């Protein structure tokens, strides 16, 4: 279930740290505005019945924004781990992609040393990912949502065009409000 939460998290994942500058705020607005609208899992209109109040949607959007902060922190930790293992992020990603695509890395251009570094980094990164899963699950548990309702809203916010647009507008408004503080 935890991996499902990470995979399904609303595309509104944005970080709204009070120290963010205008460039980051613009990137957040652009990211929210450019979310893909493809629907690979559900038929058109399958979420049309979902009703979401403005208050519930706002809490959902704020929760997802908090997820963005959690994931941004984790991303920094992951980068540090990769660097600590004396790998570049490009090398790590190349090896990871090769393994995910089920390519044989034994016959590839990756050195044995890089593969060992990758495995060490991967173990440490798995711990960080588990921490992120726990933090996200805890945030949901502390919210007014049950896990089922959160997942329903998540699907609706990704695949119901009306709810998706409301969530995007709400996220942009929140980002704008925070920029004025």
Q: What are the tens digits of pLDDT across the range 60-103?
A: 999 999 999 999 999 999 999 999 999 999 999 999 888 888 76
Range of the domain at 82: 51-180
Please report whether residue 170 resides in a domain: yes
CA dist 37 and 29 (Å) reads 16
Residue 62, in any domain of the structure = yes
Give the pLDDT confidence score for residue 110 in this predicted structure. Answer: 81
Q: Is residue 142 part of a domain?
A: yes
40: in domain: no
Indicate the number of domains in the chain. Answer: 1
- Asked if pLDDT for residue 4 goes beyond 70, the answer is no
What pLDDT does residue 106 have? 57
Residue 43 confidence (pLDDT): 39
* 45, pLDDT greater than 50: no
Give domain status of residue 162, yes or no: yes
Residue 126, judged by CB atoms within 10 A of its CB (0-12, 13-18, 19+), counts as: exposed
Q: What is the pLDDT of residue 107?
A: 53
In a domain, 19, yes or no: no
User: Per residue in 110-163, pLDDT tens?
Assistant: 888 999 999 999 999 999 999 999 999 999 999 999 999 999 999 999 999 999
Whether 65 is in a domain gets the answer yes
Q: What is the pLDDT of residue 143?
A: 95
Q: Within a domain: residue 161?
A: yes
């Amino acid at each position: 279930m935890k991996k499902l939460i990470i995979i399904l998290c609303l595309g509104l994942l944005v970080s709204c740290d009070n120290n963010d500058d205008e460039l980051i705020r613009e990137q957040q607005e652009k990211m929210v505005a450019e979310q893909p609208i493809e629907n690979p899992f559900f038929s058109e209109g399958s979420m049309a019945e979902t009703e979401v109040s403005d208050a519930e949607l706002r809490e959902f959007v704020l929760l997802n924004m908090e997820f963005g902060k959690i994931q941004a922190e984790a991303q920094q930790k992951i980068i540090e781990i990769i660097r600590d293992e004396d790998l570049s992020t490009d090398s790590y990603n190349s090896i990871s992609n090769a393994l995910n695509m089920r390519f044989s890395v034994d016959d590839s251009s990756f050195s044995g040393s890089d593969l060992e570094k990758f495995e060490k980094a991967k173990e440490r990164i798995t711990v960080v990912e588990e921490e992120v899963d726990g933090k996200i699950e805890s945030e949901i548990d502390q919210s007014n949502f049950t896990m089922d309702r959160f997942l329903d809203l998540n699907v609706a916010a990704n695949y119901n065009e009306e709810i998706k647009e409301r969530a995007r507008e709400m996220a942009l408004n929140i980002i704008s409000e925070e920029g004025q503080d």
